[in-house]
Amino acid sequence: MKYILKAIDTVTMWGGMGARWLSAFMIIVIVIEVFMRYVMNAPTKWAYETAMMAGAAMYAFGFAYAERLNAHVRVDVFYHNYSPRQKAISDALLGLLFFLPVIALTFAGAWSWVLKSWRIGEKSVESFWYPPLYPLRTVIFIGWTLLLLQGLAGLYRNFYHWIKGRPYD
C-alpha cells in the first residue's frame, strides 16, 4: 500500500508543479496579448482562448495538489480545536459523506464530456480561432482523476489514523 500511496502522491506533486508552469505560461500569453493589443494595435485571435485553456488546466491539476497539501477550505469553527485523531475521524467521515459522492459524480460527468468531445471533434466558439476543445476536456478529466485518487489516498490515511490511533507513515 505504501507504494501505491507514494505513486499517487508523486503524480499529484508533479501535477502541482505542472500547474505552476501553466500559471507562468498563462501570464506570458496575457502579457503578449496586452502588448500586441495596446502597443502594436494588432490583437491576437489566439491569446484569449490559450490563456483560458491554460488557466483551466492549471486549476484541474491544482485540485489534487491542494488536496495533498490539505489546503482545501474547511469550516474551522470546531476543526481547529480537534486533536489530530479527531481531525482524521472528521476528515474520514466527511470524506465518505461528501467528498466521494461529489467527486465520483463529477468524475463520471467529466468522462462523458471527454468521450462526447472526442467523438464530435468539439471546437471552441469563443473566438474566430476555433481551437479544438477535446484536449482540454481530457486534461480536465485527468485533473479530476488525480483528485479522486488523492482523495482516496487521503481517506485511507485518515481511516488508518482513526483505527490505529497514529498517522500513516
* Residue 75 scores a pLDDT above 90: no
How confident is the model at residue 79, as a pLDDT? 83
| Cell numbers at 82, concatenated | 480537534
Average pLDDT, the chain: 93
Q: What is the pLDDT of residues 12-66, one digit of tens each?
A: 999 999 999 999 999 999 999 999 999 999 999 999 999 999 999 999 999 999 9
Which pLDDT tens digit goes with each residue over 88-100? 999 999 999 999 9
- Per-residue pLDDT band for 76 (boundaries 50, 70, 90) equals confident
Q: In three state form, how does the secondary structure of the chain look?
A: CHHHHHHHHHHHHHHHHHHHHHHHHHHHHHHHHHHHHHHCCCCCCCHHHHHHHHHHHHHHHHHHHHHHCCCCCCCHHHHCCCCHHHHHHHHHHHHHHHHHHHHHHHHHHHHHHHHHHHHHCCECCCCCCCCECHHHHHHHHHHHHHHHHHHHHHHHHHHHHHHHCCCCC
Q: What is the pTM of this model?
A: 0.90
Whether 169 has a pLDDT exceeding 80, the answer reads no
State pLDDT tens for residues 141-165: 999 999 999 999 999 999 999 999 9
52-67 per-position pLDDT tens digit: 999 999 999 999 999 9
Percent of the chain beyond pLDDT 70?
100
